[in-house]
């Protein structure tokens, strides 16, 4: 039988999750749906669109990291946000670098974002907070989508990348929304 020990310095559980958790989750879902709606554009259009989606999602993540107090997973939120912003800047301002380079960049972002989500889940679980399973699901989806990019991007280029990033944003946003709902339920 395995027992979990409580986090050595647990932060007080708030009765209400930060409203921005819902805003960030909703925005990510909307950005993901937007990415899924536009996968037919040419590779340059897809690269620019995805770049701006990643920049906006990363900026929303940074804002959330700085405004949600107390914030147990500040460092991991920063890693995820900064990786999204850097990936977005490269995709938005260097779209001619090629769909293959974009695919590798997006796959790297998915791997790192999955790792960040897993660390957030670990922090939530260690502190006894509910909803920790949703970031785990988001991390697994990130990693499966990264594998999908490596397997299918040479065949479909921007269609595959746009669809995979859209799916990732929808799952990541849904995970944030579910963590917020779980925190609200207590």
Structural domain contains residue 101: yes
Residue 99 lies in a domain: yes
154 part of a folded domain: yes
What is the spatial distance between Cα 156 and Cα 161, in angstroms, rounded to a whole number? 8
The answer to whether residue 5 is domain-embedded is no
What span, in angstroms and rounded, lies between the C-alpha atoms of 30 and 23?
10
Give residue 90's domain range: 19-185
pLDDT in the model for residue 34:
84
Tell me, yes or no, whether 35 lies in a domain: yes
Whether residue 15 is predicted with pLDDT greater than 60 in this model: the reply is: no
Q: Give the span between the Cα atoms of 148 and 61, in whole angstroms.
A: 25
Per residue in 120-145, pLDDT (tens digit) is 999 989 988 888 898 999 999 999 98
| Res 13: pLDDT | 47
2 inside domain: no
Q: Given this model, what pLDDT does residue 103 score? A: 79
Rounded Cα–Cα distance for residues 42 and 126 (Å) = 45
Q: 15: burial class by Cβ within 10 Å (0-12, 13-18, 19+)?
A: exposed
Within a domain: residue 164?
A: yes
User: What domain count does the chain have?
Assistant: 1
What percentage of the chain reaches a pLDDT higher than 90?
Answer: 19
Distance of CA 88 to the CA centre of its chain: 13
Q: Give the single-character DSSP code of 157.
A: T
Q: Which residue has the higher pLDDT, 38 or 85?
A: 85
Residue 9 belongs to a domain: no
* Model confidence pLDDT, tens digit, residues 67-125: 876 666 778 888 888 988 998 888 888 876 656 677 787 888 899 999 999 999 999 89
- The number of CA neighbours under 13 Å toward the Cβ of 73 is 23
């Amino acid at each position: 039988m395995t027992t979990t020990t409580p986090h050595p310095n647990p932060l007080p559980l708030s009765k209400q999750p930060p409203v921005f958790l819902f805003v960030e989750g909703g925005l990510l879902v909307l950005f993901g749906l937007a990415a899924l709606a536009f996968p037919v554009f040419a590779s340059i259009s897809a690269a620019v669109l995805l770049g701006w989606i990643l920049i906006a999602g990363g900026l929303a993540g940074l804002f959330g990291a700085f405004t949600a107090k107390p914030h147990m997973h500040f460092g991991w939120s920063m890693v995820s946000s900064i990786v999204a912003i850097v990936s977005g800047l490269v995709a938005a301002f260097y779209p001619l670098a090629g769909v293959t380079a974009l695919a590798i960049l997006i796959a790297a972002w998915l791997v790192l974002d999955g790792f960040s989500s897993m660390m957030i889940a670990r922090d939530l679980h260690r502190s006894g907070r509910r909803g920790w399973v949703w970031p785990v699901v988001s991390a697994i989806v990130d990693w499966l989508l990264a594998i999908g990019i490596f397997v299918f991007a040479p065949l479909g280029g921007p269609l595959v990348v746009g669809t995979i990033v859209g799916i990732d944003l929808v799952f990541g946003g849904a995970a944030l929304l579910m963590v917020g709902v779980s925190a609200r339920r207590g």
